[in-house]
């Protein structure tokens, strides 16, 4: 016949088990809270990386505005947000905001922009299978809808006065392949589709410093991007427009 376990021992065992379960539950809860604080984590194969900074916008050598931007993880992809304030000479002030959400490979998911000048205008764009569905909202006018087809989901979005988007383009460029690469492009504020040519030009020197050079060409404009060793956009020059954009 087995001896009965004393009640004091049974109570101690139950108390120990309860404490162990409590510790395990607290550890699991802490891990969950930590994961939530860290936020979403995009695919490890993503070509986009986090970045944050401020650009000075120069016209003919004089600063006429600034752009504050941030590129950060969002859900399983990325969000590139920026705000630009401009005051060109002999012109009114302009305040522009833009939010571009991206797949890990750089393909756009959605884009929203607003522009506050004499009037307030804006648009919302959804991208799906190479088609951009645009809803344009102009002050004192009814919303206007238009679809633009590009034939591929990998589309460059390069909007007016939001220069951090050239930094996104530098990430989308295939650096392993290099050479000339063509991409469809959308300029949302002008509802203008087109094609851009992107090409590495090797080392580009400026003010005694060496950068990785990337040339972006359209039918009527050539832009040179100066990138650091990790391909962050440090400077942009558009000589024909007399515009320079410099990271501060």
Are 96 and 162 in contact by the 8 Å Cβ rule? The answer is yes
Domain membership flag for residue 27: no
Cα(180)–Cα(184) distance, integer angstroms: 14
User: Residue 187 is part of which domain span?
Assistant: 51-247
Residues with Cβ < 8 Å from 75, sequence gap 6 or more?
A: 40
The closest alpha carbon to 161, from 122, 119, 115, 126, belongs to 115
| pLDDT more than 90, % of the chain | 71
Q: Is the pLDDT score of 122 beyond 50? A: yes
Determine the pLDDT at residue 41.
54
Domain membership flag for residue 10: no
pLDDT tens-digit map of 95-114: 999 999 999 999 999 999 99
Determine the pLDDT at residue 186.
96
Domain membership flag for residue 8: no
Domain count, the chain: 1
The closest alpha carbon to 163, from 103, 87, 214, 98, belongs to 98
Stretch among 63-67, 143-147, 182-186 having the lowest mean pLDDT: 143-147
Domain membership flag for residue 192: yes
Average pLDDT over residues 72-98: 94
Burial of 119 (0-12, 13-18, 19+ CB in 10 A): exposed
Determine the pLDDT at residue 30.
47
Q: Is the pLDDT score of 24 beyond 80? A: no
Determine the pLDDT at residue 141.
83
Q: Is the pLDDT score of 20 beyond 50? A: no
Q: Is the pLDDT score of 119 beyond 90? A: no
Domain membership flag for residue 109: yes
Question: In the structure, what pLDDT confidence band is assigned to residue 36 with cuts at 50, 70 and 90?
Answer: very low
Domain membership flag for residue 40: no
Domain membership flag for residue 25: no
Domain membership flag for residue 3: no
pLDDT tens-digit map of 169-183: 999 999 999 999 999
Token digits for 24? 């395990």
| pLDDT more than 70, % of the chain | 82
Q: Is the pLDDT score of 34 beyond 50? A: no
Average pLDDT over residues 60-70: 97
């Amino acid at each position: 016949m087995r001896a009965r376990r004393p009640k004091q021992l049974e109570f101690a065992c139950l108390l120990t088990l309860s404490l162990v379960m409590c510790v395990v539950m607290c550890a699991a809860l802490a891990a969950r809270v930590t994961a939530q604080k860290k936020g979403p984590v995009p695919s490890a194969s993503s070509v986009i990386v986090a970045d944050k900074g401020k650009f000075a916008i120069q016209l003919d050598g004089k600063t006429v505005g600034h752009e504050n931007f941030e590129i950060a993880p969002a859900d399983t992809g990325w969000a590139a947000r920026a705000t630009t304030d401009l005051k060109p000479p002999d012109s009114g002030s302009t305040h522009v905001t833009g939010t571009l959400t991206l797949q890990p490979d750089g393909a756009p998911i959605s884009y929203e922009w607003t522009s506050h000048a004499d009037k307030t205008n804006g648009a919302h764009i959804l991208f799906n299978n190479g088609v951009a569905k645009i809803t344009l909202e102009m002050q004192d006018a009814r919303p206007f809808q238009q679809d633009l087809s590009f034939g591929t989901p990998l589309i460059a979005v390069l909007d007016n006065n939001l220069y951090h988007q050239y930094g996104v383009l530098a990430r989308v460029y295939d650096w392993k392949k290099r050479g000339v690469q063509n991409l469809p492009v959308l300029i949302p504020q002008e509802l203008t589709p087109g094609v851009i040519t992107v090409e590495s030009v090797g080392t580009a020197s400026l003010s005694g410093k060496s950068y990785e050079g990337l040339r972006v060409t359209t039918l009527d404009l050539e832009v040179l991007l100066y990138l650091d060793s990790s391909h962050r956009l440090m400077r942009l020059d558009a000589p024909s427009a007399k515009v320079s954009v410099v990271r501060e």
